Structure 1
């Protein structure tokens, strides 16, 4: 079942038309969220990012869009899908400006869609499988506030994914207009050299990721690592000890190879355990 503005529809239902502004102009935002055992994980972080993004795009936030209301709509959607409601679930929450207008909309009012898909693992697992990456240099991320938002404008990710498949890579790293490494196709990037961990700053154009934010908190509280939010040159990739990707669905994905360089997974393995512990404590706190 799919939730469209609070009404549940079968997955094969037709409830959007050719005037949809998300389709026409990419006038849309989305959140990819994990649900486990009755809990919408990191919901406050996702909610606050969504509200901030809607304000930046000058969307009108409905009065009923409270954190409690939208969480209840997510839970309603999951529970309506009886075959997966007891499983870990991936939620996609999409909000878009309503139909009408050309570039200038008739209204800033919005609609939303909530979708749910079953996941395998209830917690983050570091899948130690080969992940080979390459730079994607056909197009660049234009650093700026818009590039940090999770909008539906994902053409560079789509074309980059096709490039990766055509060339038998598992992922690609995106560059900004200054030729600095920004992120991977499906998440933020972290580079490890010795006890130093680096990740690009938001000013370089990377997504303002939820797991990125959580890892910044975790690493910042550890004495065993030093953390830097600094630009990363492609030349640093071959000197690094580790390289890993983060997103809200997979958690941490270790890159194993870039060109002739092969990477360790020791720090990623350490951090995924700490990430699970933080989320578990947050889930317990939100239910108490």
Structure 2
């Protein structure tokens, strides 16, 4: 079942057509959300990011789009798919309504809420081989739009195909200044000695939810130094650890980049703190 504008519909229902602006122009935003036993992880952060992104894209925010209303709509979809007592992945998509060419006829929006089951109720560390490479066919243009979670993900799609064709588990994206920005599906963190770095939003990376949470966690710890600063490709092979963050996986350690292999001691430590933050959220 999917929740389309408050109506619970079978997944094979034809409720969109060829005029959909998300299909035509990528005129849409989405949030990937983890829900465990009826609890939405970091819901306030997801909500505030969605509202800010809608404003940036000049979408009309409906009066009923309160935190409470959208939470009710998410939970209705979770319940309809018998996932109230299971870990679930939720995709909440908002798109501008049909009409117009590049210039919309309206700024009013519709939404779709989809769900699927997850393997674990909490973030877990994946210790399997996770090799990455730079994706250099196309570059991220660092601006405010690149920080949003929009449906314009052509570089991520092509990069994912490149990774699969070449036996990598992921790729790292560069911006047009050749700085390392992020992974195909999340933010990047680098560990060298006691220093932990992640690219700045000014470099063009996604304004990730778990990125934000980890920055807050690191700011309260005395045993690590943290900074938002650009990462050069050269630094990758000098690092002790690299890991990727997103709202569904939590923290994914990178085990290999070219000839360099990495540990996951810091990633493991931070994962426990992230799970604690999720429970307290």
Which runs of 5 or more residues in structure 2 are unaligned? none
The separation in 2 between residues aligned to 1:103 and 1:120, in whole angstroms, is 41
Q: Which residue is 2:101 aligned to? A: 102
The separation in 1 between residues aligned to 2:72 and 2:39, in whole angstroms, is 11
The separation in 2 between residues aligned to 1:80 and 1:278, in whole angstroms, is 28
RMSD of aligned residue pairs (Cα, Å): 0.5
Q: Which residue is 1:142 aligned to? A: 141
After superposition, the C-alpha distances for 1:131-158 in whole angstroms (9 at most, x for unaligned) are 0000000000000000000000000000
SS in 2 for 1:173: strand
The separation in 2 between residues aligned to 1:3 and 1:57, in whole angstroms, is 23
Q: Which residue is 1:28 aligned to? A: 28
SS in 1 for 2:218: helix
The separation in 1 between residues aligned to 2:280 and 2:166, in whole angstroms, is 42
SS in 2 for 1:65: coil
The list of structure 1 runs, each at least 4 consecutive aligned residues, that deviate by more than 3 angstroms after superposition, is: none
After superposition, the C-alpha distances for 1:230-258 in whole angstroms (9 at most, x for unaligned) are 00000000000000000000000000000
SS in 1 for 2:150: coil
Q: Which residue is 2:278 aligned to? A: 279
SS in 2 for 1:169: coil
**Alignment: residue pair count:** 281
Contact 2:32 2:247 survives alignment (8 Å): yes
Q: Which residue is 1:154 aligned to? A: 153
- Give the 5 Å matches for 1:64-213: 64-82=64-82, 84-213=83-212
Taking structure 2 as the reference length, the TM-score comes to: 0.99
The separation in 1 between residues aligned to 2:81 and 2:182, in whole angstroms, is 34
Which runs of 5 or more residues in structure 1 are unaligned? 283-288
The separation in 2 between residues aligned to 1:133 and 1:68, in whole angstroms, is 40
Contact 2:36 2:84 survives alignment (8 Å): no
- Give the 5 Å matches for 1:211-230: 211-230=210-229
